[in-house]
Each structure stands twice: as C-alpha cells, then as structure tokens.
A = this chain, B = another copy of it.
C-alpha cells in the first residue's frame, strides 16, 4: 500500500508556498510544519512585503505552528523547507525542539551548515536534498529575472 503523506508530498506543499513568495516578488522560499502527518503551519518568505528581516518562511511557520498548538515547543513536528535554513531559523528551530528538518537545496552562502551540525538541538534530525534541483532552479530564475 502506498502512503499519501510522504516527505515528497509535504515538500511539494512547501514549494507551493515558495511559489507564492515568487508571485509577490519575494525570494522564493517556502515551509510547512507537520505534526502527525498533518500540516499545522505553512508560510513563505515575507521580508520585502513586511520590510522585516525576521520574516523568513521558517520563522513565520514556527510562530504559526506554536499558535496552532498553543505551545512553544514543537516536539514531534517536522519542518519541510525549500532552502537550507540560515542560522537565525535553525536556532529558532533549536529553541522549538523541532524533531526533524527536511530541506531541498543547500545554501552555501547563508545556510547554517557553515557553522556545523552543532547548531542543531541534540533531539533534531535532518535530511537534505529532496527536490533540491527544483528549488535551485526556482531561486536561480528569481535572481536572473531580478537582474533584467
């Protein structure tokens, strides 16, 4: 029997968010947070619209998930995000005790991995590379169009 709610299913939902960002001329990054195979929060980058550097997709998704759960800890939750989180977002995920992170493409310039996996909470696992090429192309197209 096939299961509908695969990692790929949830990552595709994160991509829908990233597309919403692209549609309003934001750097296309999207995220969803999942608890018990259910999406409890979804968000996309809003830094330009809100003129607020803290409004990364992950940060908005964490706040929304905590609102949904009525709790600041996201124990048992997984975040799917189309780009490797920056140190701001990964530390917020640390504070939230997120159980698992799945991201698509790496961010060599601004991603947290420059500082190593010790940025992660000991209870947090991660996977990367799922639909990485799609995310890389989406970002590349965005910045190419920007330069026109």
Contact = CB atoms under 8 A, between A and B. Distances in A.
Contacts of A108: none
A90 B66 CA distance: 22
A117 to B, nearest CB: 12
Contacts of A96: 53
Contact-residue bracket for chain A:
20 to 34
Contacts of A71: 51
A39 interface: no
Given A51-B72, A88-B89, 15 more contacts: A47-B72, A50-B66, A51-B66, A51-B67, A51-B70, A52-B72, A53-B62, A53-B66, A53-B73, A53-B95, A53-B96, A86-B91, A87-B88, A87-B91, A88-B88
